[in-house]
């Protein structure tokens, strides 16, 4: 199975369409930030699960109500719920949505304890191959455009608690990756409108993931 991961479209749905045409995956994953509610229409978003199975988490620029209503052709929700693990063709995918904050003032804000609770639930459900988050684990694929660190400790703790083979994140708009000594990987998808995606090949022997750059407009 070929899996494609995208992130941070911010209303540029054509970037996702071009990537799908280029890589022809069987499953689409998103690390969130499809676009603010005034940037993306629900009918346009619905084109994607009508085309292929989609699993997404959410960031700080997403139409949460619309994502919650979207369904794949088999009736499953496109939006991964808090602490949910979903299996597709033998690949177990989990997600922790939102961005770190000190309050719940906005729907996409998550606290340290929220992330820890969700990570614990996911870990108790069994091994996970792929973890989707919008925020990044501090020190791992979290370089900002200015060269600093933009990750959070809570997502690093979640990475260690869940121990996925592959942790995909976004938010910072800088495509980058980090491979640990035990082979586990953290890949920041970057911003797909800039021409970055992650392509994952899955077979019985495991996952092979690569950060890809593609030319827009072809």
Domain of 14, CATH number, reads 3.60.21.10
pLDDT at residue 62 in the model: 98
pLDDT tens, 11-64? 999 999 999 999 999 999 999 999 999 999 999 999 999 999 999 999 999 999
The answer to whether 188 and 152 are in contact (CB under 8 A) is no
pLDDT at residue 218 in the model: 55
Cα 171 from chain centroid?
10
Q: Which domain holds residue 184?
A: 2-213
Q: Is residue 120 part of a domain?
A: yes
Q: Is residue 218 part of a domain?
A: no
Ranges assigned E (strand) in 34-96: 54-56, 85-88, 91-96
Report the chain (218 residues): mean pLDDT per 10 consecutive residues. Answer: 98 98 98 97 98 98 97 98 91 97 96 98 96 98 97 98 98 98 96 98 91 88
pLDDT at residue 194 in the model: 97
Q: Cβ neighbours of residue 18 under 8 Å, at least 6 residues apart?
A: 214, 216, 217, 218
Q: Is residue 147 part of a domain?
A: yes
Considering its fold, how many domains does the chain have in total?
Answer: 1
pLDDT at residue 65 in the model: 96
pTM to 2 decimal places: 0.97
CA separation for the pair 38, 36 (Å, rounded)? 5
Give the closest residue to 45 by CA, choosing from 25, 20, 70, 62.
Answer: 70
Q: Is residue 143 part of a domain?
A: yes
How many CB atoms are located within 10 Å of the residue 206 CB?
12
pLDDT at residue 206 in the model: 87
């Amino acid at each position: 199975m070929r899996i494609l991961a995208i992130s941070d479209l911010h209303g540029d749905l054509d970037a996702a369409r071009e990537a799908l045409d280029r890589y022809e995956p069987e499953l689409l994953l998103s690390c969130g930030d499809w676009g603010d509610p005034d940037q993306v229409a629900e009918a346009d978003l619905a084109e994607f699960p009508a085309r292929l199975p989609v699993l997404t988490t959410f960031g700080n620029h997403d139409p949460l109500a619309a994502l919650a209503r979207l369904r794949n052709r088999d009736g499953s929700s496109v939006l991964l719920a808090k602490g949910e693990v979903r299996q597709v063709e033998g690949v177990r995918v989990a997600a922790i949505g939102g961005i770190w904050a000190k309050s719940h003032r906005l729907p996409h804000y998550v606290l340290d304890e929220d992330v820890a609770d969700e990570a614990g639930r996911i870990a108790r459900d069994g091994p996970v191959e792929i973890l989707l988050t919008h925020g990044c684990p501090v020190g791992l694929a979290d370089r900002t455009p200015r060269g600093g660190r933009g990750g959070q400790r809570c997502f690093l703790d979640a990475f260690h608690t869940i121990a996925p083979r592959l942790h995909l994140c976004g938010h910072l708009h800088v495509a980058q990756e980090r491979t640990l000594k035990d082979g586990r990987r953290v890949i920041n998808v970057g911003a797909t409108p800039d021409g970055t995606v992650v392509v994952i090949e899955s077979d019985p022997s495991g996952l092979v993931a690569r950060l890809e750059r593609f030319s827009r407009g072809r």
